[in-house]
Structure 1
Amino acid sequence: MLDTWSLRVLAEVAERGSFSAAAEALTMTQPAVSRQIASLERRAGVRLFRRLPRGVVPTAAGVLAIDEARAILGRLAGLEARLGAFAQLRSGHVRLSAFPSANTEFVPAAIRRFSELYPGVEVGLVQAGPGELRTGAVDVALLTSWDEAGDDVDLVPLLDEDHRIALPSTHRLAGRTTVPLRELRGETWIEGSHPDCLGPLDVLEKTLGGPPRIGFTCDDWTGKQALVAAGMGVTIMSTLAASAVRPDVALRPTSPTLPRRRVLAAVLPPAVRTPAATAMLTVLTSLAAGYR
């Protein structure tokens, strides 16, 4: 099998027109270049150069071999340049996935900051879980402590978020600084999709004296708020999305306090993680510090 060094020697001899000139350009001896070309000719089974008193000229087979060698070396140089740009974050892509409440403000802010730092890297927001990290469908997956990520990924804690009760601004308890959960026993509750749902909040069921009465289930973040604002029920929202709450919806802490939830980033181990994924993780960690 031909190797890239042999191809480089072949191309250099053709460029310089002699073994001695090629040897000087390659920091080799003239006999070493001669042996390299002779070895190529033996493996090819055909003469590549005609030896002249002053230099060499390619044979017909040599012309073909030289053209192919130059093309191969050019493609390899292009590959090295592209990989270098990828490693130095001048190009490439990173795919991020997250849950709805994180997408209201936190994720867009992270994407904006990443794009400012690495304008040559394409950022995508996809629907995928941490289980798809190995397939390449996603590079960084945001999840919560309510999720299961699997054993083959790294989990990086980002922040801890609180939960609040979301009431219509006209609700009888909306003016309270803290809402006692026991006073919501007769309320209709609005459920959502995991993890932006009522969740495994045992304290809620314990205080209400039973499971909350679910009147509506809505996976859409905007739709949940609209139902609350219309007085159709109450729900629980995370403080991560507090800035995106409608003005006619009141967010209030509760008594007793609802459990906190940890937000994490799931990524592949460093040995197989892309440079862009590592850079996105750094951006997320830095941004999360402002939410603590």
Structure 2
Amino acid sequence: MLELRRLRLLAEFARRGSIAATAAALGYTPSAVSQQLAALEREARVPLLDRTARSAELTDAGRRLAERAEEILGLVETVEAELSAQADAPSGRIVVTAFPTAAVAFAPALARSLGEHPGLTFVLRQTAPGTGIRQVQSGEVDIALIDDWTGKVPDQAPAALEFFHLRRDPLVLVVPEAHPMSDPGRPVDLERLREEPWMAAPPGEPSRQAVERLLDTVGGARPVPWEFEGLHTILSLVARGIGITAVPALALAAGDRGVAVRRIPECTLAREVYAVTRTASVRRPSVAVTLRAIYAAARDVQPTPPEGGAEGRSGGAPAD
């Protein structure tokens, strides 16, 4: 009899390509992963991995079993979801992972909404860029909140995952309150801002690439003098008058004081925000009620003034 836990390890190994990466993804030691895969080989009675002193790769039989493992695990989750759908109320543990600005923006509304379900244990984790989809696929988390600057992520994702679009998050200009461009009556002129001390995330980060593309529209700017990990760190420095920046609007949901937010005329740079879960788990009451709460949080949070509204300073918590 093939054990489901070991089949999940094999499927994860097929995705990650190494025992070390599989162990890191699932929170095991490499030795434990190796031992469990060896036990699966004994259960299957055929070699599943071709091992050398430094690496391991799937045999033909291992690849076939890994493919079948995905199907088996998906079917088991579907059956579990159908059974749990008969429950009167959502219960159990639900784990959501999110990129940092979404975690900060949505957490208050999620805590209030999901607090109405006493049988539900809610866990919200922040994750590094690009890891949310893999964590959902491997079963580490139930739902991931991800951002997509390319517009291509849902089309390139595995068929076993379902994407729910939450909102479009545009790039906005952020300056200190005392900055001349903080006046909402003054048009935003990027050319005048080219020589300002810009701050941004390190090279390669999507938000940094968006800032560079924005400045390219006015002929570029001098190199960004300050680079910091974390958009909230950058916003706190803008509030202290050290420089200016452009960030996705959702980054302002915490109500950073001391800054003014301006919309950027004719700027189409934005990211799409999605909730991702396994298709087989959508019917689980705990997942369904959490998705509804995420939808409501994404709809209600207002990090910047609505279209056509007055622009101004950021000083309080977002409406939710």
Q: How does the TM-score come out when normalised to structure 2?
A: 0.57
Q: Distance in 2 between matches of 1:276 and 1:211?
A: 49
Residue identity opposite 2:142 in structure 1:
D
1:271–1:138: structure 2 CA closer, same or farther, 3 Å change rule?
A: closer
Q: 2:176 aligns with which of 168, 172, 175?
A: 168
- Structure 1 counterpart of 2:100: 100
**For the Cα contact (< 8 Å) 1:190–1:215, is it kept in 2?**
yes
- Structure 2 counterpart of 1:179: 188
Structure 1 runs, 4 residues or longer, greater than 6 Å off = 193-196
Note the 1:277-292 alignment, pairs <5 A: 277-291=287-301
**For the Cα contact (< 8 Å) 1:99–1:195, is it kept in 2?**
no
- From the CA coordinates, give the structure whose radius of gyration is larger: 1
Residue 280 of structure 1 aligns to a residue whose secondary structure is helix
Q: Distance in 2 between matches of 1:269 and 1:212?
A: 47
Residue identity opposite 1:107 in structure 2:
A
Q: Distance in 2 between matches of 1:200 and 1:188?
A: 17
1:251 partnered with 2:258: no
Q: What displacement does 1:192 show?
A: 2.6
Unaligned 5+ segments in structure 1 are 1-79
Q: What displacement does 1:271 show?
A: 5.4
Q: Distance in 1 between matches of 2:266 and 2:223?
A: 19
Q: Distance in 1 between matches of 2:174 and 2:211?
A: 15
Cα RMSD, aligned residues only: 3.0
Once the two structures are overlaid, the 10-residue window that deviates more, 155-164 or 140-149, is 140-149
Q: What displacement does 1:227 show?
A: 1.3
Q: Distance in 2 between matches of 1:115 and 1:155?
A: 25
Percent identity over the alignment? Answer: 28
Q: Distance in 2 between matches of 1:119 and 1:241?
A: 30
- Structure 1 counterpart of 2:163: 155
Q: How does the TM-score come out when normalised to structure 1?
A: 0.62
Q: 2:210 aligns with which of 200, 204, 222?
A: 200
Q: What displacement does 1:170 show?
A: 1.4
Residue identity opposite 2:208 in structure 1:
L
Residue identity opposite 1:104 in structure 2:
V
1:127 partnered with 2:126: yes
Q: Deviations over 1:176-235 (max 9, x none)?
A: 444221121112222237877234367513323126622222223432122112222211
Unaligned 5+ segments in structure 2 are 1-79, 303-320
**For the Cα contact (< 8 Å) 1:142–1:266, is it kept in 2?**
yes
Residue 166 of structure 2 aligns to a residue whose secondary structure is strand
Q: Distance in 2 between matches of 1:196 and 1:206?
A: 15
Q: Deviations over 1:129-176 (max 9, x none)?
A: 111112222111111222746224211101122221111111122114
